[in-house]
């Protein structure tokens, strides 16, 4: 019934980190500006401001590792069926927020709304793909071994533990679909993760935390930190309590030298390392994912038992 004519002012969201199932600001109290990506890279002029996001620090990363470690026992201990249902629940929740994510992906990657929506759909379907893997991976990665003797011998894959992930920073679909493509396979098998989000395109990642928090994913299973990868990634690579490192975004973020340095740092505690693509900018995240990532963060355990009266 108002007779004044003014455009209603939107309520803007304060983007926050996602750590231990909670949404803290950075312990640094600092933020950095995220601007709209343009299709013509390096276009002249001032870029459009989108949001101030937390400038996550080394300390934020260490806190996240602590949370991830705490969550391992519970998450790895759930049944594969249960994990599958939780991952499927993420797809359900993401479907309900499709439009929000399409808008964020569009501005994050500088693409049109149709393409962005298709990328969100693909991200939803990717959760479904991995939801279906939780109770099948042991059937393709494990099994009975016909040893030459009166022994029962069975190999079973088990999760590695805490996985540090440098999220995709480039390539078509990296901001959400790429992110889901690195998180989902790691947690499908019972690992927990700490993710350094795409530094220049962190909005879908930080919003994904909100989806995960309402999807029956236990707190600490996925932890997402925005900020300079040059700060966060080395902390993960050298951390004594991280078991594996996914360097997918490391070259795009800080160059091949940085990726090699992270791998070298990971060698200290013999972390399992997934190396980045040589040309991450050419990566198309809509390609079928296969099982590589699913099998990357597993330990094979083999049990022997004698047969006899």
Partner 1 sequence: MAKKKNTEQPAAKPAGGLFTYAPAPESPAAAGDIASSYGHFIGGQFVDSSGSEALKTVNPATEEVLAEFAQGTEEDVDRAVAAARKAFGDWSALPGSERAKYLFRIARIIQERGRELAVLESIDNGKPIRETRDFDIPTVAAWFFYYAGWADKLDYAGFGPNPRPLGVAGQVIPWNFPLMMLAWKVAPALATGNTVVLKPAETTPLTALRFAEICRQAGLPKGVVNIVTGDGRTGAALTAHPDVNKVAFTGSTPVGRAIARQLAGSRKKLSLELGGKAANIVFDDAPIDQAVEGIVNGIFFNQGHVCCAGSRLLVQESVQDELLDALKRRMSTLRVGDPLDKNTDIGAINSAAQLARITELTEAGEAEGADRWSPECELPGTGFWFRPTLFTGVSQAHRIAQEEIFGPVLSVLTFRTPAEAVEKANNTPYGLSAGIWTEKGSRILWTAERLKAGVVWANTFNKFDPTSPFGGYKESGYGREGGRHGLEAYLDV
Can you read off the two tokens belonging to residue 304? 């022997």
Closest-CA residue to 53 (of 213, 206, 222): 206
Number of C-beta neighbours around residue 132 at 10 A: 14
Q: Rounded to whole angstroms, how far apart are CA atoms 160 and 300?
A: 9
> Does residue 149 interact with partner 1 by CB under 8 A?
no
Task: Kindly indicate which of the ranges 64-72, 96-104, 124-132, 271-279 contains the residues binding partner 1, using the contact rule CB under 8 A.
Answer: 124-132
* Dihedral over alpha carbons 147, 151, 154, 160 (to 10 degrees): -100
**What is the C-alpha separation between 190 and 80, in angstroms, rounded?**
8
Applying CB under 8 A, among 14, 48, 81, 302 the residue interacting with partner 1 is 81
Other Cβ atoms closer than 10 A to 260: 14
The C-alpha angle 95, 96, 101, rounded to 5 degrees, equals 70
* 257 part of the interface to partner 1, by CB under 8 A: no
Sole window of 37-45, 83-91, 225-233, 263-271 interacting with partner 1 (rule: CB under 8 A): 83-91
CB neighbourhood size of 8 (10 A): 5
Quick note: the x/- pattern for partner 1 over 275-304, rule CB under 8 A, is ----------------x-------------
Closest CA to 237 of 81, 115, 58: 58
Burial class (CB in 10 A: 0-12, 13-18, 19+), 246: buried
The minimum distance between CB 188 and partner 1, in angstroms, equals 11
Q: Is residue 127 near partner 1 by the rule CB under 8 A? A: no
Q: Which of 31, 80, 118, 230 binds partner 1 (CB under 8 A)?
A: 80
Q: Is 131 in the site for partner 1 (CB under 8 A)?
A: yes
Q: Is 133 in the site for partner 1 (CB under 8 A)?
A: yes
Q: Rank residues 73 and 305 by Cβ distance to partner 1 and give the closer one.
A: 305
Distance of closest approach, residue 130 Cβ to partner 1, in angstroms: 9
Does residue number 125 form part of the binding site for partner 1 (CB under 8 A)?
Answer: yes
- Closest approach of Cβ 135 to partner 1, in Å? 5
For binding to partner 1 (CB under 8 A), which residues are involved? Answer: 80-81, 84-85, 88, 125, 128-129, 131-136, 139-140, 150, 152, 291, 305-309
């Amino acid at each position: 019934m108002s007779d004044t004519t003014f455009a209603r002012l939107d309520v803007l969201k304060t983007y926050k980190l996602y750590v231990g199932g909670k949404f803290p600001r950075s312990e640094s109290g600092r933020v950095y500006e995220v601007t709209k990506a343009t299709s013509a890279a390096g276009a002249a002029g001032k870029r459009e401001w989108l949001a101030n996001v937390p400038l996550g620090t080394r300390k934020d990363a260490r806190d996240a590792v602590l949370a991830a470690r705490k969550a391992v026992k519970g998450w790895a201990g759930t049944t594969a069926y249960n994990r599958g249902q939780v991952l499927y629940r993420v797809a359900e929740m993401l479907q309900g927020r499709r439009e929000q994510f399409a808008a964020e992906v569009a501005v994050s990657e500088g693409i049109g709304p149709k393409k962005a929506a298709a990328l969100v759909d693909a991200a939803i379907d990717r959760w479904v793909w991995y939801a279906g893997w939780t109770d099948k991976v042991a059937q393709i990665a494990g099994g009975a071994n016909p040893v030459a003797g009166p022994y029962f011998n069975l190999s079973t894959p088990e999760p590695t533990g805490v996985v540090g992930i440098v999220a995709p920073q480039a390539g078509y679909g990296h901001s959400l679909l790429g992110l889901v493509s690195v998180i989902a396979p790691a947690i499908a098998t019972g690992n927990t993760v700490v993710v350094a989000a795409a530094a220049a395109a962190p909005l879908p990642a930080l919003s994904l935390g909100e989806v995960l928090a309402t999807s029956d994913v236990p707190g600490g299973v996925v932890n997402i930190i925005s900020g300079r990868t040059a700060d966060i990634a080395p902390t993960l690579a050298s951390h004594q309590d991280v078991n594996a490192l996914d360097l997918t975004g490391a070259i795009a973020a800080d160059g091949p030298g940085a990726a090699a340095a992270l791998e070298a740092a990971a060698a200290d505690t013999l972390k399992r390392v997934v190396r980045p693509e040589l040309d991450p900018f050419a990566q198309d995240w809509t390609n079928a994912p296969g099982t590589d990532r699913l099998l990357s963060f597993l330990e094979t355990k083999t049990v022997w038992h004698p047969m006899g009266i």
